[in-house]
Amino acid sequence: MKKELNYIYIVQEGDNIESIAKKYGVSAMRILIKNSISPSMVKKGKVLIIC
């Protein structure tokens, strides 16, 4: 079984969900679902779990 790594990311000025997803090689939808958020909630200073 593959162990899933989780990262914590703090949203920076100019980030959007697509750019964050690309940086970590995951889908934007996966980040949104994991964090129970909508794209409009991705704002500077928001803490996200990336997996």
Note the pLDDT tens digit of each residue in 28-44.
999 999 999 999 999 99
Q: Is 42 exposed, middle or buried (0-12, 13-18, 19+ CB in 10 A)?
A: buried
Looking at residue 1, its pLDDT comes to 65
CB 8, CB 46: distance < 8 Å? no
Q: What is the pLDDT of residues 11-20, one digit of tens each?
A: 999 999 999 9
Written out in words, the top-level CATH class of the domain with range 7-50 is alpha beta
Q: What percent of the chain has pLDDT over 70?
A: 94
Distance in angstroms (rounded) separating the CA atoms of residues 37 and 51: 15
Q: Is the pLDDT of residue 4 over 80?
A: no
Q: What is the pTM of this model?
A: 0.86
